[in-house]
Amino acid sequence: MATDFFVHEKGLCETENVGPRTRIWAFAHVLPGARIGADCNICDGVFIENDVQVGDRVTIKCGVQLWDGVRLGDDVFVGPNATFTNDHFPRSRQYQEKVLQTVVESEASIGANATILPGLRVGRAAMVGAGAVVTHDVPHHAIVVGNPARIVGYTFPSEVRTGSAQEFRPEDIEAQGGPRDLGVGKAQVWPLPHFKDLRGAIVPVEFLKDLPFEPKRQFFVFGVPDNKVRGEHAHKECHQFLVALHGSLNLVLTDGERSAEIRLNRPDIGVYMPPMIWGIQYNFSVDTVLGVYASHPYDSAEYIREFDEFRRLTRKGS
């Protein structure tokens, strides 16, 4: 039977659910129930089980096995010998009634020899580093490395990578005439009043004078483990002003088109986040106390917690 996809003479493809222009190479084996999209490249020695769905333009490098329950979105890259699992407690000749589903969303990349535990979701455009062991869901655009995997950066359109965080001093911002634009919407870094003498230092803040809005609420974030992430949301109407009162953390901002990362590590510098800016805080030191001023009282309906919804509302991003 004529097909519009290619199977190497030493490859075995038992499914007819393969999209056009897909290539299946030598010693690859695809079982009858699998569904493979268009323009995929299935390299030598790949095994794909029945309950597997692969999107369009996916690359699966040599030595990968996709077991029942794996779902790969469009434009996913899976590196050599990456390992997917679907059973938390495997035993010989003991079978699960229902396998856990593992989802790798569109444009994500899985590095060589990475291991993905069952039932997890790797978010859109995320990147799992080579050899990483993924034990929890990976957020959209996150870069994770290590065992267990932890976030070290983000792959937003203007990529935020390890070591890319900007640091600011009040005197540098003041020398430029005031708050400094970060190039992400109307987000800015602000110097705060600060005075220091032999007795120590003080940062006095008058809300109507020293902040870009009048706060209606203040809260503090502390005790965050250094491998955890806070934020991961935007606000529809609420303005925020973030200050590291003690310790340090990294703040990532994106408007869906441009991104920036700032290292907050002193109480005389703050970052102004207007509405419709997606914010993430990570890489907390163990002693961090993050202070946040907010222009509105708390309202759960005012949050945007799904990045796909944020992208839709801003009509930006790929």
First to last CA, the chain: 38
Q: Point out the catalytic residue in the list 233, 235, 239, 296.
A: 233
Known catalytic residue at 8:
no
What pairs with residue 234 in β-bridges? Answer: 304
Count of beta carbons in the 10 Å neighbourhood of residue 68: 21
Structure tokens, 209: 């004078």
**How far apart are alpha carbons 242 and 176 in whole angstroms?**
21
Residue type, 160: V
Length in residues, the chain: 318
| DSSP per-residue string spanning 23-76 | EE-TT-EE-TT-EE-TT-EE-TT-EE-SS-EE-TT-EE-TT-EE-TTEEE-TT-
Residues serving a catalytic function are: 233
